[in-house]
A and B are shown apart, each in its own frame.
Chain A
Amino acid sequence: MSNFMTFFGGFKLTLQHLSRPTVTTSYPQAKRAKQPRQHGRHVLSRYEDGMEKCIGCELCAGACPVDCIYVRGLDNPPDHPVSPGERYGYIYEINYLRCIHCDLCVEACPTQAITESKMFEFSFTNRTDAIYTKAELLVDDQGLPQRLPWEDWREGEAAMTGGWMRATSPNGEAAFEGVVQWTGDLGVGVRAPEGGQSSNRDDEATGSKQLRNVFPKHLLPEDVPLDQRGLQGMMNQARAKMPRRHRRDDR
């Protein structure tokens, strides 16, 4: 008998799905929000005083599993040094026909010189365009990534550069939460740490969100956070969509 009911369970489920909202979006028209730590196109950062962070150590090239990075270092000219250290990245090229956006270069970098923006929507019409040189990768004088003609930047993506760096205590150790272990960036300053996995996270300051708060409709009913369930949840969501000045009881 239970077999019989599971047989019809499939029919019931497919019928229920008719009324559910679709999971997919019609992509070029409707774009889904990106995760704060999405791996996109690389950016070569600079210090707050305008010096380049890259010291030409080639560790990123060594870490790269697909050999898409080509770096050559050179001694800093004594009269106008490019980076604070002894050497600087003289040639820096990334081949985006090879890059798999694994972020191992970002992890390998000792000076947090190479980070990733969230921008992944770029396409080329020839192979030369796909090889980004230092001229394209380096941030401009405001500390923002350069926008090339074939790149499709969205609002706020440049501001989130270095998302991986802002992930505090990736091993989950609560002792390192809120501890800043990195240097400042040109135009931005020292970035705020991101919320960790313990309860003393500060999402207001860091701008990060828990995944289950962002996508409650993709969760099983029992996994939906309590404040987003039922009537109360609908009210909370409506309030979150309101402009901030109309909210009354907001902390």
Chain B
Amino acid sequence: MRAIASVDPLLAGHFSWVVLLIVAIKVLVGFGALMGAVTLMIWFERKAISDMQSRIGPQRWGPFGILQTLADGLKLILKEDLVPEQADRFVFKLAPYLVVVPALITFSIVPLGGTLTIAGHPVMLQIANPPMGILLMLAMSGISVYGVMLAGWSSGSKYPLLSSVRASAQMISYEAALGMTIVTIVLATGSLSTHNIVDAQAGGVWHWNLIRLGVIPFAIFIIAITAELNRPPFDVVEGESELVGGFHTEYSSIRFGLFYLAEFMNTITMSAIIVTLFFGGPAGWVPNVPHLRWVFPIVWFLAKTVTFAFCYIWFRAALPRFRYDQLMDMGWKQLIPLSLGWVLIVAGFLVRPAWGFLMIALVLFAWILLTRAFALGHSRERGDESVLRTVGRRPLPGDVIRAQSDEES
């Protein structure tokens, strides 16, 4: 009982059916809102990116084609569900749910608005407020890696397998940088709970983590989260030119639909998480309107989230896909050292400014050392003192014959 109570403070008090009903309604509304938002997001993405490419985009169903997603979903449900003969059937069927369920759960920790009083109970407009808070997001994104990885592995096909190898490597290497930036936020807030993180940023724009922590954690976070989501320009997992469709090549019907759903659900959720962590969540100007004061935080939150959702679409339209080695270089050689250094600097300033400046000096020194090390490594790999011998091209049949005839003569 205590474990459940920790999820929502409403349940911690005296047990009553009203409280249970409120919580149930909250969960249902949250689920419905997320599902509705996903259909709208898919439509919005397709429409916005077609505008950016001077196309028309979906237009047949509903005004401006807004019901296109429903039509697509219906089509996917009605299609034949294929399982390849080589597939590991159980894992193959399990994998889509391993992607969708974490995407849903992550959304539950996002504070959608302020506090509302229903039937004498103060209700947080947030599905759950567990004490581990933001760690839940890291855990869930860790599990969704399994979904992608197992989907590729269990397909019994080589391109999905390659894609799943890429997915696991990419997600693991970017998760480190992601975790480090979250550590800076948690250090500054002193709490893991998303509710407290939002509360700590309530005092206006200058208190937002974006500015309070310097812009660097935000920049690292948005890059790392884009890589974590497999969104362009980091979608090497789904690189059509190399891997056909990526890990979901062998999937069809509603199982494919679930992957699709999860991808867009994650985009919304992560936009919401960015807003929560760096932009004060629902914080914003609230006019003094009686009985409707609780609406404005929700509107602020939605506006900020839509802005970031649009940014993701914009990335997709504007940026070409990274090469796999560039992706890994960026993750390990730049983002992880930078986020580590920034954690040290923030921690130093939290203790005492003198410590902060010491940390800056230390980080600068380490940065020079690292740059030198990377340059050295690069020259060992490619430069004059290269220890690697060039392999050259594979001999063509003509070369083989010529070599043989040279030997004979």
- Minimum C-beta distance from A22 to chain B (A): 5
Checking B50, B51, B56, B318 against A11 with a beta-carbon cut-off of 8 angstroms, the contacting residue is B318
* A22 to B56 CA separation, bound complex (whole angstroms): 6
B 40-68 to A, binary, CB cutoff 8 A, 1 in contact else 0 = 00000000101111111001000000000
Checking B55, B317, B318, B319 against A23 with a beta-carbon cut-off of 8 angstroms, the contacting residue is B55
- Minimum C-beta distance from A41 to chain B (A): 28
A210 within 8 A of B: no
* A21 to B50 CA separation, bound complex (whole angstroms): 11
A128 within 8 A of B: no
Is the pair B318, A14 in contact by a Cβ cutoff of 8 Å? Answer: yes
Is the pair A24, B318 in contact by a Cβ cutoff of 8 Å? Answer: no
Is the pair A17, B53 in contact by a Cβ cutoff of 8 Å? Answer: yes
Is the pair B52, A10 in contact by a Cβ cutoff of 8 Å? Answer: no
For residues 47 through 101 of chain B, which have their beta carbon under 8 Å from a beta carbon of chain A?
Answer: 48, 50-56, 59
A 1-26 to B, binary, CB cutoff 8 A, 1 in contact else 0 = 00000000011011101101111111
Q: Total interface residues on B, using CB and 8 Å? A: 13
* A13 to B54 CA separation, bound complex (whole angstroms): 11
Question: Given A17-B51, A24-B54 in contact, is the A11-B314 Cβ separation under 8 Å?
Answer: yes
* A21 to B53 CA separation, bound complex (whole angstroms): 10
- Minimum C-beta distance from B231 to chain A (A): 15
Residues of A within 8 A of B55 (CB): 22-24
Q: Total interface residues on A, using CB and 8 Å? A: 14
Is the pair B52, A14 in contact by a Cβ cutoff of 8 Å? Answer: yes
Checking A10, A21, A24 against B319 with a beta-carbon cut-off of 8 angstroms, the contacting residue is A10
Q: Which residue of chain A has its CB nearest to the CB of B316?
A: A14
* A15 to B318 CA separation, bound complex (whole angstroms): 9
Is the pair B318, A26 in contact by a Cβ cutoff of 8 Å? Answer: no
Residues of B within 8 A of A13 (CB): 318
- Minimum C-beta distance from B357 to chain A (A): 29
Q: Which residue of chain A has its CB nearest to the CB of B50?
A: A22
For residues 310 through 353 of chain B, which have their beta carbon under 8 Å from a beta carbon of chain A?
Answer: 314, 317-319
Q: Which residue of chain B has its CB nearest to the CB of A18?
A: B51
Residues of A within 8 A of B50 (CB): 22
* A21 to B56 CA separation, bound complex (whole angstroms): 9
* A15 to B52 CA separation, bound complex (whole angstroms): 7
* A14 to B310 CA separation, bound complex (whole angstroms): 12
Residues of B within 8 A of A23 (CB): 54-55
Q: Which residue of chain A has its CB nearest to the CB of B319?
A: A10
* A11 to B52 CA separation, bound complex (whole angstroms): 10
Q: Which residue of chain A has its CB nearest to the CB of B318?
A: A10
* A15 to B55 CA separation, bound complex (whole angstroms): 14
Checking B54, B56, B59, B319 against A17 with a beta-carbon cut-off of 8 angstroms, the contacting residue is B54
- Minimum C-beta distance from B160 to chain A (A): 30
6 tightest Cβ-Cβ pairs between the two chains A and B: A10-B318, A14-B317, A14-B52, A23-B54, A14-B318, A11-B318
Task: List chain B positions with a Cβ less than 8 A from chain A.
Answer: 48, 50-56, 59, 314, 317-319
8 A-B residue pairs with CB within 8 Å = A10-B319, A11-B314, A14-B52, A15-B52, A18-B48, A22-B56, A23-B54, A26-B56
Task: List chain A positions with a Cβ less than 8 A from chain B.
Answer: 10-11, 13-15, 17-18, 20-26
